[in-house]
Amino acid sequence: MSFPWAREYNPSNGFTRFLDEKLPLPRLMYNAVGAGYPVPRNLSYFWNFGVLAGFFLVVQIVTGVVLAMHYAANAQVAFATTEHIMRDVNWGWLMRYAHANGASFFFIVVYLHIFRGFFYSSYKAPREMIWLLGVTIFLLMMATAFMGYVLPWGQMSFWGAKVITGLFGAIPLVGEPIQVWLLGGFAPDNAALNRFFSLHFLLPFVIAGVVILHIWALHIPGSSNPTGVEIKTESDTVPFHPYYTAKDGFGLGVALLLFFAMVFFLPNALGHPDNYIEANPLSTPAHIVPEWYFWPFYAILRAFTVDFLFVPAKLMGVIAMFASILLWFFLPWLDKSPVRSGHYRPLFRKIFWFGLIPAMIVLFICGGAPAEEPYVMLSQIATAYYFLHFLVILPIVSSVEKPEPLPYSITEAVLGSDKKAVLGENTTPAV
């Protein structure tokens, strides 16, 4: 959608006029991320993570294509070609560490992006479709990252592949045939490695496609903002360019400083040392864990240790793990409160900061810890809270809570009163 005060694209020379008539790509860009896209003036730094996620997707695609020029997806040589990249390929170490740490940074910014959405209810009408596409992207990201981690064919790669495909084996009747179909055999081997390589190459382009839909869906209602109050007048907005291109640029600079600090000085801090041991189908490492960004969901999987009615514990864990994310698809309809921003929702704020966040931290810690007490019990409690939070507590809170008074407009929230705001906006040229 375009606000009536959005600046209009004006082709300035013969070439852009020619393009504008034949294929108006510059006009599309101008209206999407240029000066033609008005954005709430009060976005905080929490609104930087979408652009950062897009940036890390590009980092992954570029370094990934480069790595695929030197990597061979064959169980005999996969581990060796990875070391070949590290030792012999020009700048190969940089490409590999940037790709491996890039995955971690991709997940860091996406988690912050998601929890921004949770707190400010960015999933609420009219932004449900943006949210649904976002959850789809997250699921695709997890599948892509999983298959990427298998490629070096280290111990964690192999046993991760075995355990994650084993999840499908838990499905009654069709489970085992599905697992054999996924692996192309009875245990991870060449066939599995080969197809994971192919799909790891394909899925990022699917992600890029869904990202385009995600951005398209965003541009229909426009960005949400920290007050949750919708845009009313021109004074509530500033053009995306140069205001938010500059702010996103600054955020990108900070993210790059942190990213390269990791790549250059702590490249293996987020990885697992066992993946520097070549895959051994006859011996499982004593403490096998997935990559850190899967830990909360892995903890939910492991929290189910006893059979429930007719459902075996193994299947329960698998259902719970998938449900913990699929649940997010229903979030726009579970949270009924008409108020979007957590800033004006006293009860919601409490369950967010003292309920959901601690539960996620406990799940994160338990997912990385061995499957022993007290971690099993802790992850059971946190898992129970996690589901209660979304399915029971959040719907109840959203219907009984008395929200705090909202500002009349975004401008009022920024400048204190509408009168001052109007005076303040006189300097902005009306275009």
Partner 1 sequence: MADTTATASNETVATTDDGIRRRDFLDIAAVGTAAVGGAAVLLPLVSQMAPSKDVLAASSTEVDVSAIEPGQAIKAVFRKQPLFVRRLTPAEVQAANAAPVSSLRDPETLEERTKEGHADMLVTMGVCTHLGCVPLGAAEGEVKGEFGGYFCPCHGSHYDTAGRIRKGPAPTNLEVPEYEFTSDTVIQVG
Catalytic residues: 219, 223, 247-248, 291
Q: Is residue 162 near partner 1 by the rule CB under 8 A?
A: yes
304 is an interface residue for partner 1 by CB under 8 A: yes
Residue 184 lies near partner 1 (rule: CB under 8 A): yes
Nearer to partner 1, 313 or 334 (CB): 313
Nearer to partner 1 by C-beta: 184 or 267? 184
Is the preceding peptide bond at 285 cis, omega within 30 degrees of 0?
no
> Is residue 310 at the binding interface for partner 1, with CB under 8 A as the rule?
no
By beta-carbon proximity to partner 1, the closer residue of 1 and 282 is 282
Spatial CA neighbour of 54 closest among 244, 224, 280, 252: 252
By CB under 8 A, the count of residues binding partner 1 is: 36
Closest alpha carbon to 118 in 428, 424, 394, 405: 394
- Residue choice 17, 287, 336, 420 for contact with partner 1 (CB under 8 A): 287
Q: Which stretch binds partner 1 (CB under 8 A): 52-60, 145-153, 185-193, 419-427?
A: 185-193
Region from 158-166, 232-240, 327-335, 402-410 binding partner 1, contact rule CB under 8 A: 158-166
Phi, psi angle pair for 238, to nearest 5°: -130, 155
Candidates 7, 195, 219, 232: give the one binding partner 1 (CB under 8 A): 195
Among 30, 49, 107, 159, binds partner 1 (CB under 8 A): 159
Segment near partner 1 (CB under 8 A), from 21-29, 42-50, 175-183, 346-354? 175-183
Task: Report whether 343 contacts 337 (CB < 8 A).
Answer: no
Q: What is the 3-state secondary structure (H, E, C) of 118-161?
A: HHCCCCCCCCHHHHHHHHHHHHHHHHHHHHHHHCCCEHHHHHHH
Both tokens assigned to 376: 């099993």
Q: Which helix (H) or strand (E) holds 86?
A: helix 78-87
Residue 191 found at the interface with partner 1 (CB under 8 A):
yes
In whole angstroms, what is the distance from residue 236 CA to residue 411 CA?
5
Binding partner 1 by CB under 8 A: which of 1, 69, 173, 282? 282
Q: Does 314 contact partner 1 by CB under 8 A?
A: yes
Residue 347 binds partner 1 (CB under 8 A): no
Which whole-number Å values give the CA distances from 366 to 155, 255, 296, 324, in the listed order? 21, 28, 7, 16
**Secondary structure letter of residue 342 according to DSSP:** G
Q: What is the DSSP letter of 39?
A: E
Residue 219 in contact with partner 1, rule: CB under 8 A: no
How do 237-239 and 38-40 pair as beta strands?
Answer: antiparallel
Per-position DSSP letters for 282-330, written without gaps between them = T---SS----GGGHHHHHHHHH--S-BTTB-HHHHHHHHHHHHHHGGGG
Nearest distance, CB of residue 187 and partner 1, angstroms:
5
Which of these ranges, 116-124, 187-195, 238-246, 384-392, lies near partner 1 under the rule CB under 8 A? 187-195
- In the list 139, 376, 388, 393, the residue contacting partner 1 (rule: CB under 8 A) is 376
What does residue 114 show for φ and ψ, rounded to 5 degrees?
Answer: -65, -45
Q: Compare residues 121 and 383 and give the one whose CB is closer to partner 1.
A: 383
The 101-140 site mask, x for binding partner 1 (CB under 8 A), equals: ----------------------------------------
Neighbouring CB atoms inside 10 A of 4's CB total 6
Maximum CA pair distance of the chain? 75
For 51, 142, 196, 265, 364, the CA distances from 139, given in Å and listed in that order, are 19, 5, 16, 30, 18
Continuous segment of H or E residues that includes residue 357: helix 357-368
For residue 320, the tally of other CB atoms under 10 A from its CB is 18
With CB under 8 A as the contact rule, which of the stretches 105-113, 276-284, 392-400, 411-419 interacts with partner 1?
A: 276-284
204 prior amide bond cis, ω within 30: no
Q: Say whether residue 169 binds partner 1 (CB under 8 A).
A: yes
| Contact window for partner 1 (CB under 8 A) among 12-20, 202-210, 366-374, 393-401 | 366-374
- Taking CB under 8 A as the criterion, which residues in 25-64 touch partner 1? none
Residue of 94, 319, 347, 371 that binds partner 1 (CB under 8 A): 371
Q: What residues make contact with partner 1 under the rule CB under 8 A? A: 159, 162-163, 166-167, 169, 180-182, 184-187, 189, 191, 195, 281-288, 302, 304-305, 307, 312-314, 317, 370-372, 376
